[in-house]
C-alpha cells in the first residue's frame, strides 16, 4: 500500500493543457451562476489587455458565448462596430463571424454581438474586391447574413441598415468578370437587399424559409448573482429590526 501512495503519475504539458481547455469550455458554457461570473471576469481581463494580432482567436472564442453579460464585459465601453478595428481582417476572422451568424436564429443574436460581427464585415468589404480576396463568401454565408434582417424594424434600424450596406457592397462585385461564383453571389446579395426595400416582396422569397424561422423555446440566459460591496458582504445579511426597537425606551 505504501508503494501505491508513493507512485507519482506523470503529466505532460499536453495533458495539463487539455484539462485547462476542458475547464474553460465548461466556464464558457455559462450554465451556472458561477460559470457566468467566471466568464465575465475572464472577459473583463481580456478587455483590459486589448485585442491584438497575437490574441484575437481567444476574443473570438468569447464572442461566441451566448450570454449578454459576458459580451458586455468583453466590450466594456467600446463601440461594438469598432471593437475589432485595430486588427486586419483575415480569412479566419471573417469565416468565424459568418459561422456565428449561421448558428443563431433570426432576432436571437445579442445586438452587441451582431454589431461586432457587422463591424468586421464593414472593414472587410469596404472595398468589395479586396474583401472577396480575403474571404469569398458563399450563397449560404449571404443567407446567414440576410436572415438577421428584421423586416418589422424597417431600414432605419441601425443593425438592419448596416446589414443592407454590407449587402450593397457585396452586390458591387457584379460585372467584375472574375468568376461565375462571384457573379451569383453579387446578384443574390442584391436580391436580398431589394426584397427588403420592396414593400411588395419579402425575404422568404430569396432566403430559404427554414433559415428565417425563429426559435420560441430558447434556453433562458443564466444571470450572475447580484454584486454587493465587499464591506457589505463581510457584514453578512442584515438582521430584521426587533419590534418596538425604534421606540424610545421607557424611563
Strand, helix or coil for residue 130: helix
Model pLDDT for residues 45-71, shown as the tens digit of each residue: 999 999 999 999 999 999 999 999 999
Q: What residue ranges do the domains of the chain occupy?
A: 102-220
pLDDT category of residue 251 using cuts at 50, 70 and 90:
very low
Distance of CA 104 to the CA centre of its chain: 10
Residue 250's contacts (CB-CB under 8 Å, 6 or more residues apart) are none
Choose between 36 and 9: higher pLDDT.
36
Residue in the block written with cell 431589394? 194
Task: Show the 3-state SS of the chain.
Answer: CHHHHHCCCCCCHHHHHHHHHHHHHHHHCCCCHHHHHHHHHHHHHHHHHCCCCCCHHHHHHHHCCCCHHHHHHHHCCCCHHHCCCCCCCCHHHHHHHHHHHHHCCCCCCCHHHHHHHHHHHHHHCCCHHHHHHHCCCCHHHHHHHHCCCCHHHCCCCHHHHHHHHHHHHHHCCCCCCCCHHHHHHHHHHHHHHHHHHCCCCCHHHCCCHHHHCCCCCCCCCCCCCCCCCHHHHHHCCCCCCCCCCCCCCCC
Grid cell for residue 153: 424594424
Backbone angles phi, psi at 98, to 5 degrees: -65, -35
Q: Angle at Cα 45 formed by Cα 42 and Cα 50, nearest 5°?
A: 125
Point out the least confidently predicted range of 73-77, 157-161, 237-241.
Answer: 237-241
Model pLDDT for residues 198-209, shown as the tens digit of each residue: 999 999 999 999
Res 214: pLDDT: 86
Choose between 130 and 231: higher pLDDT.
130
Grid cell for residue 127: 472595398
- For residues 27 and 37, the answer to whether their CB atoms sit within 8 Å is no
Hey, CA dihedral for 85, 102, 44, 17, is it positive or negative?
negative
Amino acid at each position: 500500500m505504501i508503494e501505491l501512495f508513493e507512485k507519482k503519475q506523470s503529466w505532460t504539458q499536453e495533458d495539463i493543457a487539455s484539462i485547462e481547455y476542458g475547464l474553460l469550455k465548461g466556464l464558457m458554457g455559462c450554465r451556472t451562476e458561477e460559470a457566468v461570473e467566471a466568464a465575465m471576469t475572464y472577459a473583463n481581463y481580456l478587455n483590459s489587455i486589448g485585442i491584438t494580432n497575437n490574441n484575437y482567436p481567444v476574443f473570438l472564442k468569447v464572442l461566441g458565448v451566448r450570454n449578454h453579460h459576458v459580451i458586455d464585459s468583453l466590450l466594456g465601453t467600446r463601440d461594438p462596430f469598432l471593437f475589432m478595428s485595430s486588427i486586419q481582417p483575415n480569412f479566419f476572422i471573417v469565416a468565424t463571424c459568418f459561422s456565428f451568424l449561421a448558428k443563431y436564429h433570426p432576432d436571437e443574436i445579442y445586438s452587441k454581438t451582431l454589431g461586432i460581427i457587422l463591424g468586421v464585415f464593414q472593414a472587410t468589404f469596404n472595398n468589395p474586391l479586396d474583401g472577396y480576396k480575403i474571404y469569398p463568401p458563399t450563397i449560404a454565408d449571404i443567407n446567414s447574413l440576410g436572415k438577421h434582417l428584421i423586416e418589422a424594424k424597417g431600414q432605419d434600424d441601425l443593425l438592419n441598415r448596416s446589414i443592407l450596406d454590407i449587402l450593397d457592397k457585396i452586390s458591387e462585385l457584379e460585372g467584375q468578370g472574375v468568376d461565375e461564383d462571384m457573379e451569383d453571389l453579387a446578384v443574390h446579395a442584391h436580391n436580398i437587399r431589394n426584397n427588403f426595400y420592396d414593400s411588395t416582396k419579402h425575404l422568404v422569397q430569396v432566403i430559404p424559409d427554414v433559415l428565417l424561422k425563429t426559435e420560441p423555446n430558447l434556453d433562458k440566459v443564466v444571470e450572475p448573482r447580484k454584486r454587493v460591496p465587499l464591506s457589505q458582504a463581510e457584514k453578512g445579511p442584515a438582521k430584521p429590526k426587533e419590534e418596538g426597537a425604534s421606540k424610545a425606551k421607557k424611563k
